[in-house]
Structure 1
Amino acid sequence: MNALPEGLAEFIAAAGWGGAQVQPLPGDASFRRYFRLVNGDDQSAMLMHAPPPHEDPAPFLHVAHWLNSHGMRAPAILAEDAGAGWVLTEDFGNDRMRDWLDLNPDDEREAYEAAVEALAALHRLPPGPFPAYDMAVYQREAALLTEWYCPAQGITVDAQAYAAAWEEVLTPMLARQAPGVTVLRDYHAENIMLLDGRPSAPQGLIDFQDALVGHPAYDLVSLLQDARRDVAEPLEAAMLAHYEAAAGVTGEDFRADYARLGAQRNAKIVGIFTRLDRRDGKPRYLDLIPRVWAALERDLAHPALAPVARWFDANIPAQLRAVYGAFPA
């Protein structure tokens, strides 16, 4: 993986960046690779390689063009060759919200307020031309827990009853979801860039290629029940209220839907992190599971989650829910 991908030099030369210094950057939980290009004038750009057949940059390009055309701050696309997996974009710099807050913890509330306000602005737009976040998608994602986490723990569970419980829990929410908003699906502190080095800076958006049209609470859950960063419960509550004020949302239904989507997303993430270990050989994500389980337990305590909570109590022993990411050898 240390060698530069085949075709890189030809692509950047055609894009006008021939001879630029190529700096490999840390990747994510996918097959994508990232590079920073720096030319002789100290200008920089970001290069993404999303190689087929494992990756397809076309969805990223589709969402980026839509976001930028509607006043949101996705990186500008400088050059693209989707068939070969190449995308050259504007460089948003190094100030991820997560990294900024690690160094500047006193700026936490200001940064989260800005991130919440960016979501509210996105949700004031008409929904984008993306697929629907429908029951089939919610169910497929929630099932990752029974498909990966439960076998890894060596337990057999009632998957049919699990799906039925989610059907009961999510059906009331789907009626309130229409017409929907653009859901970025991975909106959290590691995917938000602070574009001028301030906690209240404009929100640079990345990692949005899986966007769907769904419920406004989903990305709020992603931000405030972050799998990768602790968000204290008082801050979560304050930012939930801040979103409601910014978006003009009122009523207990929204809070209930927030809990529904929190539980659904966190169940999915437990499954995904297990799969990254078992299938993809990336055990580092197991260390994040305790945080996700803790948020999941809080969501399950909401009355709207009662059918799913009963399933967890009947199928996943309490000691395994406490041990979290520790799997049998």
Structure 2
Amino acid sequence: MTTARSLERHLPDEAATTQLGEDLAMAVRPGDVFLLDGDLGAGKSTLARGLIRALAADPAHEVPSPTFTLVQSYDTPVVVHHFDLYRLSSPEELEELGFDEAVSSGVALVEWPERATDAMPATSLRIAFQHEGDGRRITITGDGPAFDRVARSLAMRDFLVASACSDAHRARFIGDASARSYETVTREGHAPLVLMNSPRLTLGPPVRDGKPYAEIAHTAQTVAAFAAIDRALAAGGVTVPGIVAQDLDQGFVLLEHLGSGAFLDPEGRPVTERYAAAAELLAMIHGKHWDDRLEAAPGVVHQVPPFDRDALMIEVELLVEWYVKAVTGAPASAELCDGYRAAWNAVFDRLADKQYGLVLRDYHSPNIIWRGDRHGHDRLGIVDFQDALIGPVAYDVASLAMDARVTVSPDIERGTVDAYVAARHAAGSFDEMAFREAYAIMAAQRNSKILGIFVRLDRRDGKPQYLRHLPRIRDYLHRSLSHPSLAELRDFYRDNRLLEEF
């Protein structure tokens, strides 16, 4: 039996209660149930109103009391059902209100939960209100993932207070395929900021030689990697978010907001000139020497890992581990896996003398902000690079020119690569033939990996939306395998039907 944990907060006034509702809104997920426990006038409805308005991103959003209707529902990004059970005639009436369905589809805020105690889920969090002087003291009690999320959100508020942003408003911004998430932080009279929430990476079980996948693939384990690379890129002339404040131990970073200019056009299509500009920025980055030991804070050094053979192979094996199983309905045979590794090892052998440098690793449209009012490289703001490695720089060019989330035509791909090549030539000596071979290799490696990752996101993580990208990724893989130096690998894929649809 687990022991409930608790958190306490003193709320001096109504504004503090509203702010707590905002902090809870940043943490909620469908299925969460909050039991609001306190006397009349204790602040329960104020808290609920603050949470709902924060999710609606509208401080004036109408939130009537559900006293007479018993339940009010709100179609916010995370649906909220606000229950007031004061007038509940019997616990059985709760079923008529659709309580179980409401909990399964969204968040439930329940005032006067003691009227139906036995019907409340065991995973509920209880928020108890008590008068304390002119204010209130609240105690949040519970356990499990919901409690952990709430505790982390309150720690983020404490971080904002320590960063002189105690009065800041928080709003959900973006999340990604990882555990990281982002919020916008606004204060009257100040430029908006971005709050990065990057908890320490959960490594998972060992998969090879006693090591977990993330360790072999050199995925960043703490936010120190982001801070170190951010500072290095800024010093090297790349537009990245300036760091306003950071707590490396907890994984919080307060960042400059680079704007909201979309790299794609309003219909989500690639813009030739912007892709060329991004390629030219890459050429500048790849033409520089970067230390592999970078300082994240005084006395805190991040060692940039190598994009070594083990990392290249563990990534590309995701295709046979996840994609093949999805296509055939059965795990890949040992014979297929051995042949696949042998084919790729022969290809990786040819990378040994290709251009190496700082590889940002996720250099594509979701991570590039277009700043059309700026000039030169400053038109491009780069926001995701914590997993950077030292390796074949052609990987970044493939990441951009074969953008996983948007269809890049062969003409735009060719123009993007040509813009990169021209910029490298203009900067000095450049082996174009070696680069183009490395580009084909890394494009094939990356797109093979992504086929596996997107299936894994569906099958393991319950994110089927990634499957819609598979036809595009298969097309990219066909393109990359057309390079003459990849003829044997192309034949292996064809003979083993590794690009079958499902």
What is residue 83 of structure 1 aligned with on the other side? 249
Residue 196 of structure 1, CA deviation: 4.7
What is residue 185 of structure 1 aligned with on the other side? 361
1:110 aligns with 2:273: yes
**1:274-327 Cα shifts (integer Å, max 9, x gaps):** 11111111111111111011100111122211232222123226xxx352xx3x
Gaps of 5+ in 2: 1-26, 30-149, 203-220, 293-303
Residue 97 of structure 1, CA deviation: 0.7
Taking the aligned partners of 1:126 and 1:144, their CA distance within structure 2 comes to 31
Taking the aligned partners of 2:476 and 2:364, their CA distance within structure 1 comes to 15
SS in 2 for 1:255: helix
What is residue 144 of structure 1 aligned with on the other side? 318
| Greater strand share, structure number | 2
Taking the aligned partners of 1:209 and 1:322, their CA distance within structure 2 comes to 33
Taking the aligned partners of 1:181 and 1:31, their CA distance within structure 2 comes to 27
Taking the aligned partners of 1:303 and 1:171, their CA distance within structure 2 comes to 16
Residue 252 of structure 1, CA deviation: 2.6
Taking the aligned partners of 1:86 and 1:304, their CA distance within structure 2 comes to 45
Q: Contact (CA 8 Å) 2:315, 2:449: kept in 1 or not? A: yes
**Corresponding residue pairs, total:** 316
1:213 aligns with 2:394: no
SS in 1 for 2:454: helix
**1:221-250 Cα shifts (integer Å, max 9, x gaps):** 000001101111111112211111101134
**1:41-72 Cα shifts (integer Å, max 9, x gaps):** 14210001112353621211121111112221
Q: Contact (CA 8 Å) 2:261, 2:370: kept in 1 or not? A: yes
Moved >6 Å (runs of 4+): none
From 10, 19, 27, the equivalent of 2:158 is 10
Tell me which amino acid in the other structure corresponds to 2:359: V
Taking the aligned partners of 1:137 and 1:193, their CA distance within structure 2 comes to 28
What is residue 281 of structure 1 aligned with on the other side? 462
Q: Contact (CA 8 Å) 2:268, 2:406: kept in 1 or not? A: no
1:122 aligns with 2:270: no
Residue 113 of structure 1, CA deviation: 1.8
Q: Contact (CA 8 Å) 1:25, 1:36: kept in 2 or not? A: yes
SS in 2 for 1:148: helix
Tell me which amino acid in the other structure corresponds to 2:473: V
Taking the aligned partners of 2:400 and 2:422, their CA distance within structure 1 comes to 17
1:162 aligns with 2:340: yes
Taking the aligned partners of 2:172 and 2:266, their CA distance within structure 1 comes to 23
Residue 269 of structure 1, CA deviation: 0.6
What is residue 310 of structure 1 aligned with on the other side? 491
Taking the aligned partners of 1:259 and 1:199, their CA distance within structure 2 comes to 31
Q: Contact (CA 8 Å) 2:201, 2:222: kept in 1 or not? A: yes
Q: Which has the higher contact order (CA 8 A, sep 6+)?
A: 1
Q: Contact (CA 8 Å) 1:169, 1:307: kept in 2 or not? A: no
What is residue 400 of structure 2 aligned with on the other side? 223
Q: Contact (CA 8 Å) 2:354, 2:435: kept in 1 or not? A: no
Taking the aligned partners of 1:198 and 1:72, their CA distance within structure 2 comes to 13
From 48, 58, 79, the equivalent of 2:196 is 48
Q: Contact (CA 8 Å) 2:272, 2:415: kept in 1 or not? A: no
Greater radius of gyration (CA): 2
Q: Contact (CA 8 Å) 1:193, 1:204: kept in 2 or not? A: yes
What is residue 237 of structure 2 aligned with on the other side? 71
TM-score (norm: length of structure 1): 0.90
Residue 197 of structure 1, CA deviation: 4.8
SS in 2 for 1:181: strand
Taking the aligned partners of 2:372 and 2:480, their CA distance within structure 1 comes to 35
1:61 aligns with 2:237: no
SS in 2 for 1:26: strand
From 232, 240, 246, the equivalent of 2:409 is 232
**1:23-50 Cα shifts (integer Å, max 9, x gaps):** 1112111111110001011421000111
Q: Contact (CA 8 Å) 1:79, 1:88: kept in 2 or not? A: yes
| Identical positions, percent | 36
**1:174-221 Cα shifts (integer Å, max 9, x gaps):** 2223xx211001101111112355696521111101001112211110
Report the CA distance shift for 1:53/1:191 in structure 2 as closer, same or farther (over 3 A).
closer
